[in-house]
């Protein structure tokens, strides 16, 4: 099955696609810019689509490879696993938690994906975290986690009322980051068309970026209404880019923010953007 993305109207920049930059936006960093001294005061890692338990994949090895890659990163404040933690069978949810727990005492958070086929109540029971939640880090940064599926695995728009509440309660913070497994616009074949979600995100100046999973073969950036939306490829599963990957995001004291896609195997930077 051909699962390459269908792109509509907007430019997506990633490790495997070349497009013209959009006027007015700082996009891909050059190698020299990547090597410039950057002193972050806040740093997080996000990775998606581990698909723990998927048949005919070496899911245990792919998860251990990611855990070791994260441990090689310096000064990480938290990790967000952006959906499809398991592959359909709920029996694997407690098992993948044991894997993520290897990162402790480093804090990690989880986003519900369409293959995470457990009820919201069971999700809360296992993870101690609701499928829709938000919190503050270091007094300055807001993190909003949103559910874009259900126990049946449907592709859904996020709860706009919850998003409105979360954005309102974090609007005084310096920067806010959103995590949604399924993109809320049909930019790719596996996105959903939720224009109201994008309009709401665009209405809050302190929203710095939104991070998606779901599309294993997409690892770049799309701009919409002056807001960047990032993908991180995948680190598990049976399809997608040939290089398992994860993403780091760093903010320095002046509020400069950069994010880089890195290869799991050796930490090689595959693309990097300043936003």
Q: Does domain 41-274 have CATH number 3.90.650.10?
A: no
CA-nearest of 91, 94, 66 to 80 is 66
Give the pLDDT confidence score for residue 37 in this predicted structure.
Answer: 75
Using one digit for the tens of pLDDT, what is the confidence trace for 218-254? 999 999 999 999 999 999 999 999 999 999 999 999 9
Q: Above 60 in pLDDT, residue 19?
A: no
Q: Above 60 in pLDDT, residue 16?
A: no
Ramachandran category for residue 57: left, alpha or beta (phi over 0 → left; psi -120 to 50 → alpha) = beta
Q: What angle do CA 16, 21, 26 make, to 5 degrees?
A: 105
Give the pLDDT confidence score for residue 38 in this predicted structure.
Answer: 81
Under 8 Å between Cβ of 219 and 5: no
Q: Which two tokens stand for residue 219?
A: 């690892």
pTM over 0.85: yes
Under 8 Å between Cβ of 245 and 234: yes
Neighbours of 203 (CB within 10 A): 12
Host H or E run for residue 163: helix 160-169
Q: By three-state DSSP, how is residue 264 classified? A: coil
Q: Above 60 in pLDDT, residue 213?
A: yes
């Amino acid at each position: 099955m051909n699962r390459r993305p269908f792109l509509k109207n907007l430019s997506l920049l990633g490790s495997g696609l070349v497009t013209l930059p959009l006027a007015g936006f700082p996009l891909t960093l050059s190698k020299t810019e990547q090597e410039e001294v950057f002193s972050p005061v806040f740093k997080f890692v996000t990775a998606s689509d581990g698909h723990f338990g998927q048949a005919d994949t070496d899911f245990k090895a792919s998860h251990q490879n990611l855990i070791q890659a994260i441990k090689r990163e310096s000064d990480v404040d938290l990790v967000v696993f952006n959906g499809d933690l398991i592959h359909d069978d709920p029996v694997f949810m407690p098992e993948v938690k044991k894997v993520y727990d290897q990162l402790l005492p480093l804090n990690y958070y989880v986003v519900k994906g369409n293959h995470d086929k457990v009820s919201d109540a069971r999700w809360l029971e296992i993870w101690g975290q609701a499928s829709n939640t938000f919190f503050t880090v270091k007094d300055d940064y807001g993190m909003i986690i949103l559910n874009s599926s259900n126990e049946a695995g449907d592709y859904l728009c996020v709860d706009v009322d919850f998003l409105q509440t979360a954005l309102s309660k974090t609007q005084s913070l310096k920067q806010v980051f959103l995590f949604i497994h399924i993109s809320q616009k049909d930019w790719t074949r596996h996105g959903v068309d939720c224009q109201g979600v994008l309009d709401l995100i665009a209405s809050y100046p302190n929203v710095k970026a939104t991070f998606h999973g779901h599309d294993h073969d997409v690892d770049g950036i799309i701009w919409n209404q002056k807001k960047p939306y990032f993908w991180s490829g995948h680190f598990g599963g049976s399809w997608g880019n040939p290089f398992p990957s994860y993403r780091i995001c760093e903010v320095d004291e002046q509020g400069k923010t950069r994010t880089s896609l890195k290869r799991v195997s050796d930490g090689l930077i595959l693309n990097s953007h300043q936003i």
